Structures are given as structure tokens and as C-alpha cells.
Structure 1
Amino acid sequence: MSSPVYLVLGAGPGLGLAVARRFAQGGHLATLTTRLQEEADPLARTLSEEGYAAEGLAVDLTDPDDVARVVATVGERHGRIDVLHFNPSAWREKNVFELTVPELLEDVALGAGALLPAVQAALPHLHAGARVLVTGSAAADKPSPAAPSLGVQKAAVRNLVTSLDATLRERGVRAVAVQINGVLGKEGPFSPPPIAEAMWSAVSRPDDDWTPHVAYDG
């Protein structure tokens, strides 16, 4: 068998890179995807220069077909996907008097809906013991009045994880949303490294101790 594969959709230089690094430290090949190839390459190069196996790919998370294509490509290339990490969200600073229905649906399609084609494409490559990991947020319970679509995204994706976990468990695969109950920062308990450690711990649990939702309170 090849090395385990960690695939993150919606990577960035902060939390996304930190979580990828943590899984790389655990022996995974880290595959980081961003909207543009020129954004993904530096992230992968950072990990490679630190001595880890990493690669970068571009994906349009607003296009279900492209999501499916990229996930399937990774699975077929390596023969497995051990951790599928869904990390995107859309921040739209429009309050409930300004936000339109098309804008709300567009944001939810990115921050929650894109998880569906990703899991469906990954399914042939998710063996028993594989995990689906989702970055959650306190916005699911305490949405910002300035950007309510984020709260809808996070509530929706948390709900979707419940259904995914109940369905995937028949295959020996589990899904979890790690809800970050704090504001991300550069230092302290809500900085990327400790959150990355919490995500590693969440997916490393045995099935006997599994829950589809984990709260990270710092």
C-alpha cells in the first residue's frame, strides 16, 4: 500500500496549510487544493521544503463537475484517499436586508453543497478507516448579523456531516465536523497549530468513541 493520502479542498496559507502540515507529520501525502494553481503550488512547496510529501492542485469549488474531477484524479493517482478535508466557506458582508436569495444559495453551494460531489467522487477510494473532515464554525450557532450567509453555510454543512457519517459508517468510513468556537488568530489557542492538532485528534479516534461533531473551545 502507498502512503496514506490527505486531501484538503479550500486550502489557504493559514489553517489549511497548518492542518495539511499536521497530517504530513503523521505520514500522509498532503494534497492541497486552491482556486488557482499558482495559489496551490506555493503551499505544496512550503511543505516539500520542510521535508514532507506534498502536491498542489487547482479546483473550482463552485463547479460540482470540477470538484468531482479533481477528487477522482487524486484517488485514481494514489489509489486511496484516507482523509478528505472540506475547508471552504464564503464571507459575504451583506446583512439580511441586503442579502439576496441567489447570493445566499451561491454561498451555501460553496460552503456546504460542494461537499456532496467531493464525497461522491472520493467514495471508490475511501477504504475502511478513512475519514471525512469538515471545518466547522461557531457561526453555525452564533451567526454574524453582518454576514448571515456564513452561519447558514456552517449550520448546513454540520447537518450534512450528520447524514454523511450515518451513511458512510456502513463502509467503515466516518465523518466529523470540528466546530471552532472562537476567532482565528495568529497566536494562542485559536491559532492554526492547536486547531490543526484538534483536527488530527478528531479523525484519529476509534469508531467506538466516534461522534460526528467535535467542539474546539480552545
Structure 2
Amino acid sequence: MSSIVVVAAGPGVSGSVARRFARDGYDVGLIGMDADVLRTLESELRELGVQAHWEIADLTDAEAHARAIRSLGEKLGRIDVLHFNPSAFRGKNPMELTVDELLEDVALGVGGLLTAVQAARPFMGTGARVTATGSMAADRPSASAASLGVQKAGLQNLVRSLDTTLRPDGIRAVSITVRGTLGKEGPFTPDRVAEAIHAAATRPDDDDWTPEIPYSG
């Protein structure tokens, strides 16, 4: 049975990603901070006929984060897809943002991916995938939320490095750059974005593989 671990699982895109892969028969591991949200999502996934497990972890605590990944890897037996979703939104422009605040946000939105992949690697075999929810903020940042653009640019860069590093082992990495604003209707609903993430992860590993895919709806 294939499995996916979703980092920063919640009711939005990450929850939709979990359900989309579950409909494809994947068992699911969830990491988040809200036990009630995780229990609800677990119940929804089990109704789809798959196993679901969850762990509470502060993603900025590298040891706790890695421990949660390893625990889910052991419960699931393998990790075929690792999906990284978190980012920090802080409404400050570059003249208001402090260095400590910037580093705190980058530790979550970029450093968290590094922790997750390093912890998941022993459970990932040939054909496994690392996916990440990217954003147009990577190259079109909003000055009013300066740290978000830095996070998303760093995330995109790290995914490229991970793809190059893991490719010899048959593991590929890709960020899906969402070029629009999430909403309850239209092309940028969580379910539509999740469909794009699923499509990116399940592509064949061939000469056409790219480590970044824009999603414009």
C-alpha cells in the first residue's frame, strides 16, 4: 500500500491533498498542531477506506518535527509522498520586519522542509516524491508581508536542490507554484490545488520532469 505524509495538515489545501491521495488508495500520515482538526481529518480519511495516523508537532522544533516524521514512517511502513505545506504569514514590510522575525518565519517555511525530508529519507524508496505548496510570492512578493516572499523563494530553491540530490536514488522533488488567491469557488479552491499537486507528484520520472510547476488554474 502506498502512503503519503502531509506536513502542516489542516482544513485547507493540506486536507484536500490528504483526501485526494486517499481516494487514490494511499494511507495517510498527518502532522499538525490542532488535535481536533487532525481527528476530524483522520475520520474523513478512514471513511475513504485507508489507514490514517497523526502526530502533534511544532514544526519549528526540529527534533520534535523529525520525531513525528519517523513515528509516522514506522506506522505506515514507507513514505511514497512527502507533502510540505506550511508557511508563516506576518503582516510586516521590510522596514518593520526584524531579523529575528524573518529567521523565525524562514525556519518554518523553509527549514521545516529540510527537517522533514531528512527524517523521511530512510522510509523513501525509488519512485518516492517530495512535493511542496509554493506561491507566486516567490517571484512576485508583497512588500506588506515581506517574509512570505522570502520563504516561498527559499522553498522553491531548496526543492530544486533536493531534486538534484535525490534524483540518483530515483526520488524526485517538485514545488507547485500557486499563481492565484485561494478561495471557496473558482480555479483556486483547495481541492483544485490539491488536484494539481497530485498530478505533479504522479508524473513519470523522465526527461520532461521539472522541479517546479506553475498552477494558474
| Counterpart mapping for 1:162-201 below 5 A | 162-201=160-199
* Matched position secondary structure for 2:78: coil
Cα deviation code 1:147-191 (max 9, x no counterpart): 110000000010000000000001100000000000000111000
Cα deviation code 1:10-44 (max 9, x no counterpart): 11101111111110011101222211333311221
Does the CA-based 8 Å contact 2:175-2:211 persist in structure 1?
yes
* Matched position secondary structure for 1:123: helix
> Within 2, Cα distance between the matches of 1:39 and 1:199?
22
Equivalent in the alignment of 2:26: 28
Equivalent in the alignment of 1:213: 212
Displacement over 6 Å in runs of 4+:
none
Equivalent in the alignment of 2:128: 130
The answer to whether the aligner puts 1:202 opposite 2:204 as a matched pair is: no
The answer to whether the aligner puts 1:97 opposite 2:95 as a matched pair is: yes
> Within 1, Cα distance between the matches of 2:202 and 2:164?
18
AA matched with 1:49: E
* Matched position secondary structure for 1:166: helix
> Within 1, Cα distance between the matches of 2:37 and 2:125?
30
> Within 2, Cα distance between the matches of 1:91 and 1:50?
32
Q: Report the CA distance between 1:50 and its aligned residue.
A: 4.4
* Matched position secondary structure for 1:147: helix
Equivalent in the alignment of 1:41: 39
More divergent stretch after superposition (29-38 vs 55-64): 29-38
> Within 2, Cα distance between the matches of 1:186 and 1:34?
22
> Within 1, Cα distance between the matches of 2:96 and 2:72?
39
> Within 1, Cα distance between the matches of 2:43 and 2:146?
35
TM-score (norm 2): 0.96
After superposition, the CA RMSD in angstroms is 1.1
More divergent stretch after superposition (30-39 vs 10-19): 30-39
**% identical aligned pairs:** 55
Equivalent in the alignment of 1:54: 52
Cα deviation code 1:38-69 (max 9, x no counterpart): 33112212222344432222111010111110
2:4 to 6, 10, 17: 6
> Within 2, Cα distance between the matches of 1:17 and 1:53?
15
* Matched position secondary structure for 1:114: helix
The count of residues paired between Structure 1 and Structure 2 equals 216
> Within 1, Cα distance between the matches of 2:121 and 2:54?
21
- Any unmatched runs of 5+ in structure 1? none
More divergent stretch after superposition (99-108 vs 187-196): 187-196
AA matched with 2:166: L
